[in-house]
Structure 1
Amino acid sequence: MSEQGVWENAEPGVQRKILPPGQSLMMMMVRFEAGAEGYQHAHPHEQMTLCLEGRFEFVIDGEKHVIGKGENLHIPCHAVHGVKALEKGMLLDCFTPLRDDLLNRHP
């Protein structure tokens, strides 16, 4: 199976790879250096995130959640959320509907 997507820089110490989407669902791999942060933001998309490796602290609408390898987390539509890597690691994020704000930057 060939490698899909291209790694690109997001925030400092954070890289992401957007995978080819379906009709209404998309996935993105995100890798973090220890201590790196995904800045707080919100979007109208429902999101599930799965920890592939490492440990992460999420803040979702002011509430803290820590997840490790094999654990997942639901982020509701419009929830203000951010994440900090407690150690080097990788997440798999799934979104519905499609994140046109991310996909339109990738031919």
Structure 2
Amino acid sequence: MSNIGKWENAEPGVKRKIFEPGKSLMMMEVHFEPGAQGYEHSHPHEQLTYCIQGKMEFKIEGEAKVISAGETLVIPSNAKHGAKALEKSIIVDVFTPLREDLLKV
């Protein structure tokens, strides 16, 4: 069953909705409750994150970076990274190439 366009739980206090992907580019909206975390991980995909609402702290290869509404950050391919919501937050993540591991057909 496809998860595209449907809200799903990612981690505790974190839910996401994956939008219809292109051939090599995909996007998802992610909502975080205050204090919720996106666990540290890495993937071969390049990632661009845009903060719509709130304030998030990202750790990329051990370096902390805080972004607020209207700000972006780039996560390079294979970089270890994780995130924590410093307040209720909404972000949009864009990946290239497709995150086949997240797409359920």
What TM-score bracket applies, with the shorter chain setting the length?
A: over 0.9
Report the equivalent of 1:57.
57
TM-score, normalised to structure 2, is 0.95
Instruction: Show the counterpart of 1:89.
Output: 89
C-alpha distance in 2 between matches for 1:24 and 1:42 = 18
Counterpart of 2:77?
A: 77
Cα distance per residue 1:62-102 (max 9 Å; x no partner): 00000000000000000000000000010000000000001
Matches for 1:35-54 after TM superposition, within 5 Å:
35-54=35-54
Aligned partner letter, 1:101: D
Q: Percent identity?
A: 63
SS of 2:101's partner is: helix
* Count of residues paired in the alignment: 102
**Poorly superposed stretches of 4+, deviation over 6 Å:** none
Looking at structure 1, the residues matched to 8 and 24 of structure 2 have their Cα atoms a distance apart, in angstroms, of 23
Q: Which 5+ residue runs of structure 1 have no aligned equivalent?
A: none
Matched, 1:101 2:69: no
